[in-house]
Each structure stands twice: as C-alpha cells, then as structure tokens.
A and B are shown apart, each in its own frame.
Chain A
Amino acid sequence: MRTMKRAVSVALLAPLTLAACSSGGGTGEGSGADEGGGAAAGACEPAGEAVTLTYTSWIPGIEDVVAVWNEQNPDIQVKVQTGPNGNGGTYQNFFNQLEAGSPPDLGQIEFDALPNFRVQDGLENLGACEDVMAAQDQFVDWTWSQVTLGDEGSVYAIPQDTGPMALFYREDLFTQNGIEVPTTWEEYATAAEQVRAAGGYITNFSVSDINQFAGFVWQAGGKWFENDGDQWTVSLDGEESTKVAGYWQDLVQRDLVSTLPPWTSEWDNAYNTGQSWTWVSAVWGANSIATGAPDTAGSWRVAPMPTWEGLDGAAGNWGGSTTAVFKGSENVYEAAKFALWLNTSEEALSLLNEAANLYPATTAGQQLPALKEGVEFYGGQDIYTVFTEAGENVPGDFVWGPTMTQVYNDVADGFSSAVSGEGTLTDALGTAQGSTVDALKAQAIPVAE
C-alpha cells in the first residue's frame, strides 16, 4: 500500500522535477551527483504524502513569504520559526538541536558558517536532488562555489542572498561641510579627519561583529582559509589582513572612528543623531539604516566602496545567507523544493527584497523590477545599481574556515581589547591565528602549522 502510494506520487511529481530542470537550463549537470556526491549524498525522494517542514530564519517578514508558499502547496506545509541573527544565537541553537538530534528541517545559514556546520556533520548533501543540481546555472558563480565546499558533486545549501559592499554616506553632511566623498581608502582617512573636525565620526568600526572586517580583507584580496582536501591552512594574519588592520588601527588610535558595539541602541543612536556619517556595509545594510536611523530619511546616498591602490573597483562581501537542509531531515526532497522556490522564484525573491532588502544570489533575481527602482529613504537613488556593480567585482575565491564562530569570537575579543587600549588590531589577528589553529586541532581537523 505504502509503496503504491509512493510510486503514484513519484509519477505525479516527475513532471514537476522535469520542469524545474528545464527552467534551470537542463544542462545535464545533475548526473554529476551520481559521481562526485554519490557516496555522501543521501536519497532525495518525495515522501508521497503531505508533509510539514520546520524552517528557522531571522529574515524580517519571512512569515509572509512562507505564507505565500503554504497557500500554493497544501501538501508541503512549512512552519517558520524566527530567531536572532546567526551569530546572535540561532547558530548555537542549531548546534544544540543537532547535538540533541532534533534540528529543524531547514535553516538559514550564512555562507561563512556553512563549513562550520559541515564539519559538525550537520548538513544534508543535496547533491542527489536533481533539480538542485540543475539549478546551479541560475546562481552567481561565487555563491555556488561557497555551497559546494570544494566538492563538485555536492551541494550543502541553496544560496539565498549576497552582501556586496558599498559606501553609505550622509550626502547632506558631506555637502554642508564641503567634504569630498572618498573613493579610495586614502581619501577616506583624509575625510575622516575633516569629519572629526566637524564634530562627527566618519564611521563606527565594528569590533564585535567581525564580518565587516572580513569583508574589508576579502576586498583587499586576502584569504583567511584554504582547504586542499588534506588539510586546512589558516592565515588570519596574512599580508592583506595586516594591511587592513593597520589602516583601521591608525583611525581608531587617532579617534577618527567610533567603536560602539554594533546592532545596539548605542549604534542606532549614533547614526540617527548624525554622529556617524558613513557606513561601509552590505546591500542589506540599507534596511539596517532605514530602521535604525529613521530620522535621517532622505539624507543617505550610496557610492562604491573605497578601494585600495592597485585594486581598482574590487568590492568586499559581507554576509549573505543560504537555506540549508539539516542532517536527519526526513523530507529532504520537499525541503529542497521549498528552498529552491524561496531562493529562485521571482515571486519569493521580490517578496524577500521588499521585506528585508535581500539581494538575490541568482543572476535573474538581480534583474528584478524592484531592484531597478529608486529607494525613497535614499532620496530616490537607484541604490541597487551600485551594489550590482559591486557584486560583479567581489573576488571569487574567498574560503571560510570550519570554526568561524570561534574565529569571530577570538578576533572580536582581541579587537575589543585593542580599541580599549590593550594591544593593536594586528596583535589581535596574531593571537586569533594561534587560537584558531588550536581550535581546529581540538576538533581533530587537520591543519598546517
């Protein structure tokens, strides 16, 4: 009876799968799953009955997007649960749930945390799902390489959004004070002096959310991790990182940037009251400013991120999420299907952009009509064109390590001490380098000394 049901539903669903394949270009990449990921990838078959999936995310307004799916898919109902942002607590919940053997079916995981979940054996390999493999061509290249984690036939999550970085700045204050909007980091430091003289701070350097710093290093062409298959190489204190750390150390030391903890009332207040004049942030930061500094509506504009000499046009990336299926989910097929809809359909991507300014990871998604319009909070500026250009100039080979939670923690602790006067940002990177190698060893992950 059961087998019968299953056979019938497979037959019924087959056209859907094929449709998904053809819409994705149907390049036959799906066969790769059998070779590369065959051993690791689990089965990816429909359950043949109505299922309910659980999904945890911290995207503001995600409930409304999921409601649209639930209406159209009575047999695959998704229960969404929201939490704090990943490093703010949701990842820890995920790890605990995995340890306890009861994770949700799906979860939001940022690109940088994927290796961490992979190394804890917490992710279902979607390499066996044909429509997932077929969707590869829809995504921006570097996002796909971040979800295969170096193994061609495997897919550990569906890319959702990206965070190309640019410079948010208070156009009104810059004009009033006759300060030029900086295009290079050198000019940025000069502008910082002028802004300080005018009574403000050019920006707030994020010492406890290290993702921003990582984005700076990414832009400068640095790499923190490499995985050659046999072992990891850690280079937190590499040449580029040291250069970027030295640059900010100088600004901090001269009291040209503030160092308030990010994502707090203090932070919002600094932007809302005009104490902070710029923010080098990702595309989703547009939403953070609009909600955190409502009194400044209309005064902000977006320009390309300042660049380093010799690296004209290169941009960093800060954040960006994926939708992953957790190990132990009994409905991998349905979960993957939902994740694909959420992250590739124009309907879902438009809603996500509207609700949370998410910037899609698919090439088609970046052409959404909503992304061609001016944004009122930014004086009607068509800000997304700046980010589209930045997205095209993000170096593609940045690799995240398998213990990023620890890396962020250790670097943040060191940075916090540094801005309080103990040591420097560069020292902090050196210390974190050592502690990261130790952390990898503690997890029995092979690492080069």
Chain B
Amino acid sequence: MSTTAAVGSGPQRAPLNTRVRIPHKRALGVFVAPFAALFTAFYLVPIGYAIWQSTRVIEREGTYGAPTEVFGGLSQYQTALQNDAFWQSIGRVVLFGVVQVPIMLGLALVFALLLDSPLVRGRRFFRLAFFAPYAVPGVIAAIMWGFLYSPNLSPFAAVTSELDLLSTDLVLWSIANVVTWVYVGYNMLIIYSSLLAIPAEVYEAARLDGASQLRIAWSVKIPLVMPAIILTAIFSIIGTLQLLAEPQVFRGFTTAVQSDYTPNMLVYSTAAVPNPSLAAAFSVLLAVATFILSFTFLRLTQRKAFQ
C-alpha cells in the first residue's frame, strides 16, 4: 500500500516540499534493504569480527595444553607495530606506489587525451586494445608475465638470462610493469569518459581564442578531468597497499619475493601460522593506513581540483 502511494505521489512532488518525503522513505527502505543487508553481512560484520579477533590472545597450560582465547586488549597491535617485516612491507608498497601510480596514471591520461583528440584514427580499435588487458584476470596476467620474465623459460631468454628481471633489485619493478599493463586501460577509460562529458562549447570557445590542440589539452581538458584523475589515483593508492595476487604468483618464479613481501601477503602468511589474532591486527592497521593515505591525498588535491 505504502509503495503504491509513494510511486503515485512521486511525479507530483514539489522539489522543495519536504513533507511528502515520508512515504518515499519507506520506498527507499525497500530499495536499500538488499544493499544494506549485503553490506552488513559482507562488509560491516567482517570488519567488526576482525577488530574483535585482533583483541584476542591465546592462553594455555603446558606444552600441549588446549588453547583458550581471552581478551588481550591492544597487545596484538603492540606486536604488530614492533614487527620489522610489517614496516618493510609497507615501505615496499609505498615505494612501489610513488613510482608506479604516477607512471600508470600519466600513461592513462596521455592515452585518454589521444583517443579524445580529433587527430587520431581507429579510435574504437585503440580504445578496446588499451582496455583489453584489464579483462585478463590479475593472476593470469602475473603468470603470463612471470613466464615472459623467466631467465630459463622465457621466449626472450636471450635477453632475460642476461638481465634478470626477477632478481631482488628488479622484481618490484617487474611487478609494477604487470600492474601497469593491467590497469592503464581501465584508468584510461575513466578519464576518457570524463573527457566525453566536457561540453563542446568549451572547446569552441577555446578555438575561437586561438588555442592549439595541445593548448586545449593542457589548459582545458586536464583541469576539467582533474576529479577523474584524482578518483583513479585514490583507487590506485588503495590497490597498491593491497597488492597480493601478482607478487604471490611471482613466488613461483623467483626466490626474491618472500612470504611477507607486501602487507597483504604478511597478513596471509600470519593467518597460515595460524595466528588469526595477529593477522587481524595487521589487517586493521593496513585498513587504517589505507584510509589515512587516501584521505590525506584527497585533502591535498581537493582544493585545487574542485575550487
């Protein structure tokens, strides 16, 4: 009944009349409920569980006594923060992000601008071609690149046996290449769709003022798609901190990637000990770090982008 009323009253609703919103709220509830239920079950509850798990410590009697979990306050966090491997893994992904994210987004922006420029032919083909790697699952991409890099199994063994792309010094950048290969097209598409949304009058005005294509790209397009670039940057920062699949797959190709190479891998191997409480503490810390980094970045860039 209320649903019918809500639907019926919809078109007549005056934009400023807040009183009629009450029936809408119920309709809203119906539509939001499935999302809310799934969000709670697969997001809020696991987070709550992880936080709860991270406060547990084990107690037992004797060498083989049965373990009992008791409340341990923040002691797991203390252990986690004192763990060298944790800090090293954070340092590694931050270094990775500082180098890889600008390169990837720079390429994505250049490709998007080229696709948007009137000079390029075969736009559809290139749009699809750049995006295609994203359709390859990350694990498959990593396996493929792993074989390409391999000093013994690579089709380019003549090169890879001389320059070991899987050595300790280079493997991080080899992984960066895989991640870039997969995600450039995806980021390009976000920026490109934002370019398409720019009204044609803006370009017309710029041309009337005598601006060249380069000048339009630099002074008109880039500032206008800045919000899209910031969005892709935040996705990339989050993705970098959560790096797991590619380095995990690379463990099968090289000994230069250890079980605690990235923060997520450390969580994974800690959980395997099994020490779920410490793994939970690592996870919560990682989530907080991701949150802080993303929001700091947003803060720093927001003023410029949205003024």
Contacts and interface: CB of A to CB of B under 8 A. Distances in A.
Given A420-B168, A443-B58, A403 B256 contact: no
Contacts of A265: 147, 153, 252
B273 A229 contact: no
Contact of A412 (B167, B259, B274): B259
B278 interface: yes
A36 interface: no
Given A99-B276, A232-B63, A444-B57, A266 B259 contact: no
Contacts of A439: 273, 275
Contacts of A211: none
Contact of A99 (B85, B150, B273, B274): B274
B116 interface: no
Contacts of B273: 403, 405-406, 409, 439
B251 A269 contact: no
Contact of A442 (B63, B79, B255): B79
Interface in B260-303: 260, 269, 271-276, 278
Contact of B256 (A91, A95, A269, A420): A420
B153 A118 contact: no
Interface in A229-278: 229-232, 259-261, 264-266, 269-270, 275
Interface residues of B, number: 35
A335 B209 CA distance: 85
B255 A119 contact: no
Contacts of B153: 265-266, 269
Contacts of B58: 442-444
Contacts of A442: 58, 79, 275, 278
A49 interface: no
Contacts of A96: 274
A95 B268 CA distance: 13
Given A413-B258, A417-B258, A121 B66 contact: yes
Contacts of B59: 444
Interface of A: 91-92, 95-96, 99, 118-121, 149, 151, 207-208, 227, 229-232, 259-261, 264-266, 269-270, 275, 402-403, 405-406, 409, 412-413, 415-417, 419-422, 439, 442-446
11 contacts: A151-B64, A227-B64, A229-B63, A266-B253, A409-B269, A413-B260, A417-B168, A420-B256, A421-B168, A444-B59, A446-B62
